[in-house]
């Protein structure tokens, strides 16, 4: 059994958001994204992949389509395939986000 402790997935860079892989198969991936204050994942679209974000630490602004919401620890959102989505750490604290996406774009 492959067990992951999400407390161990925290790596931040002043240059850009960091992505840390937790699990990956041909059918999906699970990452932790680490944002310093002011960092963002620019708006983008996955034509054939759904994506789910859950906040592990901090809070951030999540945009799916034309709707934006501030999410905090324990809250999550899904970006369906074909919908533009983005994440911004608008705060002065770090933001860690658990991310699931399927199918894996290998």
Q: How far apart, in whole angstroms, are the C-alpha atoms of residue 7 and residue 26?
A: 25
In this prediction the pTM is 0.93
Report if residue 78 sits inside a domain: yes
Q: How far apart, in whole angstroms, are the C-alpha atoms of residue 99 and residue 21?
A: 9
CA dihedral 36, 53, 80, 25 (to 10 degrees): 100
Q: Is 78 helix (H, G, I), strand (E, B) or coil?
A: strand
Query: Over the stretch 77-100, which tens digit does the pLDDT of each residue have?
Result: 999 999 999 999 999 999 999 999
Share of the chain above pLDDT 90, in %: 90
Residues 6+ apart with CB under 8 A from 3: none
Whether the per-residue pLDDT at 105 is higher than 60: the answer is: no
Report if residue 3 sits inside a domain: no
Overall average pLDDT of the 37-55 stretch: 96
Report if residue 64 sits inside a domain: yes
Report if residue 68 sits inside a domain: yes
Q: Is 21 helix (H, G, I), strand (E, B) or coil?
A: strand
Give the count of domains, the chain: 1
Report if residue 60 sits inside a domain: yes
Overall average pLDDT of the 58-73 stretch: 98
Whether the per-residue pLDDT at 103 is higher than 80: the answer is: no
Domain containing residue 72: 16-89
CATH of the domain at 81: 2.60.120.10
Whether the per-residue pLDDT at 33 is higher than 80: the answer is: yes
Report if residue 42 sits inside a domain: yes
């Amino acid at each position: 059994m492959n067990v992951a402790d999400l407390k161990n997935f925290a790596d931040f860079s002043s240059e850009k958001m960091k992505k840390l892989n937790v699990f990956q198969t041909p059918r999906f991936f699970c990452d932790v994204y680490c944002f310093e204050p002011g960092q963002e994942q620019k708006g983008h679209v996955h034509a054939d992949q759904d994506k789910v974000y859950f906040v592990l630490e901090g809070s951030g602004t999540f945009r799916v389509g034309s709707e934006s919401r501030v999410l905090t620890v324990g809250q999550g959102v899904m970006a369906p395939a074909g919908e533009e989505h983005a994440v911004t750490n608008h705060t002065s604290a770090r933001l860690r986000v658990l991310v699931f996406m399927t199918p894996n774009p290998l």
